[in-house]
Structure formats: structure tokens, C-alpha cells
Amino acid sequence: MKYFPVVLALLVSLVSAATLKNSPGSNQISIPAFLQTLNQLHRGPPLPPSTKRANVETRWFNQSLDNFDDTNKNVWDQRVLINEDNFVDGSPIFIYLGGEWAIDPSAITSGLWVDIAKEHNGSLVYTEHRFFGESIPITPLSTKNLKYQSVEQALADVVNVIKVLKEEDKYKESKVVISGCSYSASMAVWFKLLYPDVIVGSWASSAPLDAIVDFSDFMEIVGRAYRQLGGDYCYDLIDNATSYYEDLFQTGQGARAKELLNLCDSFDENNERDQWQIFSSIANIFAGIAQYQKPENYDLAQYCSVLRSFDDDDASALSQFVQWRLGKPECVNTRYQGTVDYYKWSKNNYDGSGLGWFYQTCRQFGWFQSSANKNHPFGSTFPATLYTDTCHDVFGSQYTSAKIEEYIQATNKKYGGKHPAVENVYMTHGGLDGWSRVGSDSAIIIPQASHCSDSGSINPTDSAALRATKERLIELVREWLA
């Protein structure tokens, strides 16, 4: 595909969506660029806010700090959002599971799940996952306290929400179905595995299931998305600019790379881990864009066009694009120690740093997106060690690579990796979503689509395959609830 000239209007429309979210109220210490890019890969499901007025009630559920230890009497309040606008007594409960993000009404006021709930006069319930948003069971977020952060605890919280709801007369006869996107889709699968009788079915959109430390295939799919949807020129530009910077570091010209990339003074061009962080951040920026691209909107073609428009020189274009996506900071902060310090600081200053999720990756899942697979344009400078070292430096010396490997294998042993033994679970993936590489082999693949791409209502712009996937889900939910 040839790149087309950028019109100013396009740049303007992308600029508004461009700035990666900086942490709210973090006046003491600013979030490192690396974490900005990482958090972008772990934001909530991309749904448009509902155009219709909906009554969404916030309720707080009394939960045990430790669902598996009766002697531990500590409790906390879990936030749950409920939309009963279409509910008729005794009709089903449609739960949308919160993942590693703060919940907001969008997922229970618009989208395919809401449409299906309406068909069944269902109540819509959105549960916030412990240690995210306003559902913080214990502070500070020390390693000791984070032992209460696990998918098992979070699933047991959901079981408890269902139990409490079903004590209410109007819900006594209600069947329950659940769904989720990304990690919360993994939860939707594992919930059915652990509690098969509590729900009648579940829909898992883009569920990573196979825990792995070195998730080296992810970037290959991201690269493929840029080649297929952005064009060869775009892939080659990223590839060439990345190699250019890698060469500078490898030939003793790191100071030059630092200058061209506008890295902050504290960046040490001779520190290997600092180098890992800048290359990982660049890759994450492209991955974050690809993760929620819609082929019918030509998102990647447009972003590639913007990238090219910054400069005819590849290296300069890449640098400017990265800074633009980071919200044009004074300088780009990708110092390894800066990230460790920020995570440590956030143990006492909970501010949506993603610490609770980072802990889960170290303790249960891995999924560290490395450059180890060579078939992508993002170079070869960010090993999974970047992440395992960070686990060690943030959570303590017990987090050795061997221990992390052991934790991750335990997860697969428990849930069956890519082959979970579940029934009445509908799994879908986007064909150009890196996460599909750790998804179930039996999932439906939607060609060219990205992460959780089937969350929206059926739309005339949907591809035939996307539409068919959604219609299949509608059918299945009817069968589950029959």
C-alpha cells in the first residue's frame, strides 16, 4: 500500500486521542514513559459511551480479604455497577467482568453484551476486580499485602456477588451468564472451569489462556498488523529506524541516539536495561495502537501516514511519532531505575500505576512481550528479562527467573493452558491480535480484527466474519438461557 498524504484534519482528530493517559493526581512523581506505554496495553474495553441515558447504580459488596481462609476476618468493599433498565424480575443476570482497569458504565450501557441482555430482559452487572479502580482491599500495596491479589481471589469475589444478588427476591430465579474482554475474558473461561454450576454460559473475547514468561510471538502479530493494514512502507520505516538506533547504541554512539530520541538526562546510554526500556516502549506504542485498531476505520493506515508525515528521515519520523504519542513530554523518560522507583512509590501512593496488574504478571501469568522472536520490525533489544528483573527489583529477591517460571507453570497446570476443559464457553479472537497467540486453539478467529473487536453492537461496517461471530454468540446465549 502506498502512503497517502496526511490532511491536517486527520492529524487533529488523532491528536485528541493521542496522548497516552498520564496518571491522575501524581504530582509528586511523573509516570515513566515505559509505564505509560505498558498501561496502554491494559486499559479497559474500548466501547463508545452510550448515547441513551441509562440508570447505572453503584453498589458496594462486602468481601473477604481472603476468600480461602475463614480465620481471616478482614473485609473490604468491592465496587459493582448495575444497570437494571431492561430488567424484569426473574430474568437473567448478565455479568461483565472487570479486569485490570477501573470500571466505568460504558460496558453495561452500550455494546453487544448490552444488546443481548436487552433481548432477555436481563440485568447488567459490572464487577470491579480487586486491586483496581476503587476496589482496593488493603493498603499499602506491599508484596506482603499483594498476596491477596490473584485471579482465584477475584473469581471468588464474583461468586460472592452472585450469591448476594440471588438472595434478593427479584433475582432468585435468575440464570447467570458472564463475559469479559482480554484478561477478564480469561476470567470468564476460568470461572466456568472452577464454578461450572454457578453460571450457564460465558463469552470470552480475546482471552489469553496460556501463561508464558517470554511472550515473544506477540510483537510478530503486531508487526504483521502494520504490514497488512499500514503497508510495507510503514513496516519498513519502523524496521529501518529501529535498526538505526540499535546500531548507534551498538557502535558507541548511544549519546547520539539519546539526543535524537530526546531521552531525559538521567537515561544512561551505557546501561543495558535503559536501552531495553526505550526499545520496549517504542514497540509498546505501536502495539497499543494496533491493539484496538478497526480495519474498517483504516486506523493503522492513518497512523502510518502520520508517522511518515513527521519527517522524510525514518529515524527522525519515528522519534517524533513516539514523542507525539507520549503527549510531547519535555524529554522521554525510559530509565530502568525510574520504573522500579515509580512502582515502589506507588505501593504507598495508589494511583492507577498498574502495580496490581504487574504483580499478577510476575506471580501468575508472565506474558512479558519481548523482542526474542525476530519476525517483527521492533529490533532485538528487549528481552523478557527486562520484566523479570523488574519483578525482582520491585517485589523482592524471591522473584528469581526460576521462581517466576515455576509460578507461571502452576497457572497452566491449574487451568489447562490453551486447552481448558470447559463447556458452554464461547471464545473469540482477532486474527491480527497478538494475544490470540496465547489463546485457545478452538477459539473463533475474526480475520484482520484486533483485541476484543467484537464488543460493539452489530454494525453495518462489520465484516461478514465479524457479524457472523456476533450472531453466533446471540444464538448461543439463547441456547444457554433456554
Ligand X SMILES: *[C@@H]1O[C@H](CO)[C@@H](O)[C@H](O)[C@H]1NC(C)=O
Question: Judged by CB, which is closer to ligand X: 43, or 130?
Answer: 130
> For ligand X, which stretch binds (CB under 6 A), given 7-15, 194-202, 238-246, 403-411?
238-246
State in angstroms the smallest separation of the CB of 314 from ligand X: 4
The strand pair at 123-127 and 93-97 is best described as parallel
Contact predicate 336/271, CB 8 Å:
yes
State in angstroms the smallest separation of the CB of 66 from ligand X: 12
State in angstroms the smallest separation of the CB of 425 from ligand X: 23
Contact predicate 72/66, CB 8 Å:
yes
Which residue number is nearest to ligand X in terms of Cβ? Answer: 315
Q: Is 244 in the site for ligand X (CB under 6 A)?
A: yes
Binding residue (CB under 6 A) for ligand X from 134, 313, 406, 475: 313
Contact predicate 258/333, CB 8 Å:
no
State in angstroms the smallest separation of the CB of 315 from ligand X: 3
C-alpha cell at 444: 473463533
State in angstroms the smallest separation of the CB of 12 from ligand X: 27
CB atoms within 10 A of CB 162: 21
State in angstroms the smallest separation of the CB of 60 from ligand X: 9
Binding residue (CB under 6 A) for ligand X from 37, 83, 91, 150: 91
One-letter amino acid at 463 equals S
Those residues whose C-beta lies under 8 Å from the C-beta of residue 250, and which sit 6 or more positions away, are none
C-alpha cell at 228: 497488512
Buried b (16+ CB within 10 A) or exposed e, 96-127: bbbbbbebbbbbbbbbbbbebbeebebbbbbb
The strand pair at 56-64 and 93-97 is best described as unpaired
Side-chain half-sphere of 38: how many Cα atoms within 13 Å?
26
> For ligand X, which stretch binds (CB under 6 A), given 208-216, 312-320, 398-406, 435-443?
312-320
One symbol per residue from 390 to 429: x for binding ligand X (CB under 6 A), - otherwise; what is it?
Answer: ----------------------------------------
110 by DSSP, 3-state: which? coil
Question: Judged by CB, which is closer to ligand X: 244, or 298?
Answer: 244
Question: Judged by CB, which is closer to ligand X: 19, or 380?
Answer: 380
Question: Judged by CB, which is closer to ligand X: 134, or 406?
Answer: 134
Whether omega for the bond prior to residue 140 falls within 30 degrees of 0, making it cis, is yes
One-letter amino acid at 32 equals P
Question: Judged by CB, which is closer to ligand X: 240, or 348?
Answer: 240
Question: Judged by CB, which is closer to ligand X: 83, or 349?
Answer: 83
State in angstroms the smallest separation of the CB of 13 from ligand X: 27
Question: Judged by CB, which is closer to ligand X: 2, or 24?
Answer: 2
For the beta sheet containing 123-127, the strands, ordered from the edge strand earlier in sequence to the opposite edge, are 56-64, 75-83, 123-127, 93-97, 176-181, 201-205, 425-430, 444-446
Question: Checking phi first, is residue 242 left (phi over 0); if not, alpha (psi -120 to 50) or beta?
Answer: alpha
CA dist 311 and 195 (Å) reads 55
C-alpha cell at 430: 482477532
> For ligand X, which stretch binds (CB under 6 A), given 108-116, 307-315, 386-394, 451-459?
307-315
Binding residue (CB under 6 A) for ligand X from 240, 297, 375, 400: 240
One symbol per residue from 56 to 85: x for binding ligand X (CB under 6 A), - otherwise; what is it?
Answer: ------x------------x----------
CA dist 268 and 440 (Å) reads 41
Question: Judged by CB, which is closer to ligand X: 452, or 477?
Answer: 477
State in angstroms the smallest separation of the CB of 70 from ligand X: 10
Cα–Cα–Cα angle for 283, 353, 11, rounded to 5 degrees:
50
Side-chain half-sphere of 219: how many Cα atoms within 13 Å?
31
State in angstroms the smallest separation of the CB of 310 from ligand X: 12
State in angstroms the smallest separation of the CB of 456 from ligand X: 23
22's enclosing H/E stretch is: none
CA dist 457 and 112 (Å) reads 4
State in angstroms the smallest separation of the CB of 108 from ligand X: 18
Question: Judged by CB, which is closer to ligand X: 120, or 227?
Answer: 120
CA dist 110 and 160 (Å) reads 25
Contact predicate 25/125, CB 8 Å:
no
State in angstroms the smallest separation of the CB of 311 from ligand X: 8
Binding-site size, ligand X (CB under 6 A): 12
Question: Judged by CB, which is closer to ligand X: 62, or 461?
Answer: 62
CA dist 242 and 318 (Å) reads 8
> For ligand X, which stretch binds (CB under 6 A), given 11-19, 177-185, 313-321, 446-454?
313-321
State in angstroms the smallest separation of the CB of 170 from ligand X: 13
Helical packing angle, 299-310 and 314-325, nearest 10°: 120
Question: Judged by CB, which is closer to ligand X: 259, or 313?
Answer: 313
Q: Which residues ranging from 111 to 130 are in contact with ligand X (CB under 6 A)?
A: 120-121
Q: Which residues ranging from 315 to 344 are in contact with ligand X (CB under 6 A)?
A: 315
CA dist 428 and 451 (Å) reads 10
Which residues contact ligand X (rule: CB under 6 A)? 62, 75, 88, 91, 120-121, 240-241, 244, 313-315
